[in-house]
Structure 1
């Protein structure tokens, strides 16, 4: 039995290892989406089954479960002989969504940590690459109907063999992606982060001994399961159902339903998605690993004090995925699964459990990452480029306070890259960058506000693509609160304004210098009956310009 003080120190030490990997990755990366937006994550995983041991506190929550499944897939393929066994200094690379992944742009590296000739654990990280080939720059094809159209799909391969980059594999990758000459900076940063983690972990192991650290890891897993069960005890027994609506799949202009029934009995939760929509033609299918991880991250939002460990997931059972668009099988396209569908899965879980524990669950947040890809050639620099813009939105109101405005997405801590960095690296000018006024849903606690930005292309031709959501319906209000405002996309080309037929999804739109793109992201849902909001707070919102007097009068008209 390990003593509590040693356990706490080792747990903090493992967390610090992951945090240093995160920091090293972002500081060394070339792409703004990693270096500035922090669209990445690092973690430590079991050598036996790939189970999560620890993850960086600044990593994307959606990768909590995904890298666990990805590492497990690598181990299974090694055991079966499909993938070569590891040697000292090897680093595997994989982005196959169907092998415990998300979408093709999320590229995962995995490296074993050796101790006395055996593998003690695995280190793994994920970084969002700006491009992995496919139909459109950036990989977010809104109308792909097969995985091959979305980009280069890579099974687990040794990109680094005994510490040396395999130039043949790298040349194959470079021959299939855009702006390939810029990717080596991200690759070296991703590999270096794992090496930093191995060095820091070795210090911890040398200090406490492999056996003591292994005992601590086992105890951490046991206690995480106990703590999650204790939190589940707060939920009254019963069944709680809700539905979140995805605008469309990008190909068929019809909504997709994510319907979940959460059943509480004893110290476990059962999540049944069997009434959700069937597999779709377009890229809004979700692979199983992403679906499971989305449930896990939703519970992390609700019970944030439970430590991150595989044990925290043990009391959570997910069923009913077969035959739905939440269990994508090859070759179903999946580019929207991690950035969009995952958030709507979490939204459905929130909407179900707010009925049971309203003091712990908010109204729905914006529910979209606002994926905007722009690719072209800059005549001033003489180089091709792929720009990837993500954006925040409003958080839902909750029992204690109004929702946060322009917060990061539900699935992570990724933030929009600074405007100054984007204008420096790409031939664009931000004409507008402000709150999406009036977008927060009315309630006793109103929703936060989305983002309103407008980008002008300055030089050369470019092609724009969008994979977003909540253009058809706004984020759900809770307990009588109103829904937040919808996402809006407008492309201004000379004297015309183009609104995508699918509202939040379009691809390959030709832009000329002077053309502009305006995006207004959703506001969060309101929480509680609007009639209970303090009139002084409504007046303050009007004074600050969050709502016009007319908007406020309409939304809180029962206050009159």
Structure 2
């Protein structure tokens, strides 16, 4: 550490950089038009190094899965950028250049201080539509990238602070509800402007050299902290597996097979035994695969600050020849929202074998992506509604899992029902906890949710890319799996479950048709027979489980008044 950089100044600058990102997040959300950004918070903002795009800081309320992908995307912009000047803003959503799926649109802006490039500012916002075969972009049966939407290489949308109308017109001519996108575009650019102002103020106060020294020192310390955590893990190799329901085209599971090796202060992740590239949109680009590992480790060691140093001891071998290393034109719309969570689940399962006391059973592990697009006859305007939903977290040593928690990859939340019903011709007929969905264990899994939406008027097309419909989230250390995801479509007086269970696209629905979704519960942690019988009785009184379920899963027998029949329970468990 520089002799002029005392610990107090270092801590202040660290928090100052974090605050810059947090203010960008808030500005983006407050000014965005689309509920998926303004209400759901499907976005992220960060600061990146001027030379290679390495992460300096990211907002705490941004989606964790973007932590790795945005630095890869920024690096791609730096590599392709020629002359840059203040006010330039690049737009890019190419999944194969450090992206995720096409709906995650990145803005990348060079930040200049006193005429010199100091760093890059970047953000990602989930646009509710980017063109393609179906409204919302989640084409569950796409077989090539072009069917998923408009793909943008790094191009300057703003040149010296001026919006390029020609580039904008190309974008707006290829997406649905184009008239509503300008609000999101200006919000996304405005967030970067806020970052410029706040970062300029920090540099004015502490000086360029001091902030530069602090950034380097913070990266060094993050790597040091991560290595210290890894050092406590026993050396060895640990295998695990996670399952993706299907690719949306071929009705067969995809397997993520991980060998995690710990050597000294380094962790190595080998996914080479995973399934080969798939026909449908569940391929993962390498940036998302790497970022999924990073976010999984950050879940396990949450106290380590996030910057590029955090990832230095984590080595992800390129899983070439598998569906976790997609190349053009493989479709990838499910990679960020779904496959990423299966990758994280595989990491959790491997780490459970290495350090069981730190781990937890698998969470719901699906974002529940549900898009509905059509024309509202009342307003005469088109709409694209994008919904995500929560699920149960896994049980852990300290207690039961959280119910209706956000997805593994994000801090995003479900759009408020009132906002959805106000903005779109949709009626929620039910939104409730999915009792009984948590996996059995000494600590049970949390509950998913059950909701039902009905189209109030007009016609629309529904698409969804979800997961965990074939098998539920994994239990840990003898715990049971959580309940799997289910989807039920009521259309024209008939009810059916999609062939691929959790994936379908372009379902034509009319006024009065409805779709019911039940999200997964978390896995159970530990031997169910070791759960305190009184906790089982409490769950029964709260109507979480029936008496039969409690007896079957935990071996606890309840009397007619709901109290524990201890003699019968002892006999049942013996």
Question: Which bin holds the TM-score, normalised by the shorter protein?
Answer: over 0.9
460, 483, 486: which one pairs with 2:484? 486
- 1:5 counterpart residue number: 8
Query: Which residue, out of 326, 340, 357, partners 1:359?
Result: 357
Q: What is the distance in 1 between the residues matched to 2:494 and 2:144?
A: 32
State the secondary structure of the residue aligned to 2:124. strand
Distance 1:76 1:172 in 2: 24
Q: Deviations over 1:263-321 (max 9, x none)?
A: 01100000010110000000000000000000000000000011101001000001151
TM-score, length of structure 1 as denominator length: 0.98
Given the alignment, which residue of 184, 203, 206 partners 2:204? 206
Please give the alpha-carbon distance, in whole angstroms, between the structure 2 residues aligned to 1:65 and 1:188: 25
- Report the counterpart of residue 534 of structure 1 in structure 2: 532
Matches of 1:495 and 1:156 in 2, distance apart? 48
1:290-305 to structure 2, matched below 5 A, reads 290-305=288-303
Question: How many angstroms apart in 1 are the aligned matches of 2:267 and 2:541?
Answer: 45
Q: What SS does structure 1 have at the residue aligned with 2:545?
A: coil
Distance 2:550 2:36 in 1: 37
Q: CA deviation at 1:153?
A: 0.1
| Residue correspondence of structure 1 range 95-174 to structure 2 within 5 A | 95-174=93-172
Which deviations, in whole Å up to 9, do the C-alpha atoms of 1:26-75 show, x marking residues without a partner?
Answer: 00000000000000000000001000000001000000001000000111
Q: What is residue 66 of structure 1 aligned with on the other side? A: 69
CA shift, 1:116, in A, is: 2.2
Instruction: Give the TM-score of the pair, scaled to structure 2.
Output: 0.96
- Other-structure match for 1:515: 513
The one of 325, 328, 335 equivalent to 2:326 is 328
Give the CA deviation at 1:557: 2.6
Alignment partners' CA distance in 2, 1:106 and 1:183: 13
Aligned-partner SS, 1:354: helix
Structure 2 partner of 1:544: 542
19-28 vs 84-93, which deviates more?
84-93
Structure 1 CA distance for aligned equivalents of residues 318 and 254 of structure 2:
16
| Partner deviation per Cα, 1:311-347 (whole Å, 9 max, x = no partner) | 0100000115111100000000000000000000000
The SS at the match of 1:375 is strand
Alpha-carbon separation, structure 1, partners of 2:528 and 2:8:
48
- Residue 50 in structure 1 maps to residue 53 in structure 2: yes
The corresponding residue for 1:180 is 178
- Counterparts of 1:85 and 1:492, CA distance in 2: 55
Task: Report Cα offsets for 1:232-258 as digits up to 9, x if no partner.
Answer: 012111111100000000000000000
Distance 2:318 2:39 in 1: 38
1:230-379 paired onto structure 2 within 5 Å: 230-379=228-377
For 1:532 and 1:556, the matched residues in 2 are separated by: 8
Inter-partner Cα distance in structure 2 for 1:553 and 1:466: 36
Partners of 2:507 and 2:543 lie apart in 1 by 34
Corresponding residue to 1:30 among 6, 10, 33? 33
Residue 75 of structure 1 aligns with which residue?
A: 78
Distance in 2 separating the partners of 1:187 and 1:480: 49
Gap regions ≥5 residues in structure 1: 79-83
CA distance in 2, matches of 1:320, 1:19: 32
The size of the alignment, in residue pairs, is: 555
Q: Let me know the Cα RMSD of the aligned residues.
A: 0.7
Q: SS of the counterpart of 1:359?
A: helix
SS at match of 1:507: strand
Structure 1 moving runs of 4+ over 6 Å: none
Give the alignment partner of residue 44 of structure 2, picking from 31, 41, 44. 41
